[in-house]
Amino acid sequence: MSFIKCIVAGTLTCDEMQLIGSGVTALTSEQIVAMTDDDFLDCASFLGSQSGWDNSQRSALLTVSKRANVSNWLACFEIDIGNLFFIIEQNHRF
């Protein structure tokens, strides 16, 4: 049984997502949406560097990015989040 499937309650922290590495793309859309805003913001660059997200996961990433107010965060900190918005925009237009 994979580590991702063993996580039933709670959410993954940014550190835990980074430990999983490329396996993070096995997260369900429900697990992505359950991610805290802080963990999403802390891991945005890491999440953006991953490939293999499906449409449901992209939608969940978009939901979390809107909830976490990523636009304001980027303006304040001027941090490059890699391919995250490219991944999301493959099916969603801002």
Least confident of 1-5, 26-30, 43-47, 67-71: 1-5
What pLDDT, on the 0 to 100 scale, is given for residue 82? Answer: 52
Quickly state the pLDDT bin for 24 (edges 50, 70, 90): very high
- Quote the pTM value: 0.70
Geometric angle at alpha carbon 64, from 38 and 31, rounded to 5°? 85
Instruction: Give tens-digit pLDDT for 34-92.
Output: 999 889 888 888 888 888 889 899 888 888 888 887 665 554 444 445 556 655 555 55
| Residue count (the chain) | 94
Integer-rounded Cα Rg, in Å, for the chain is 12
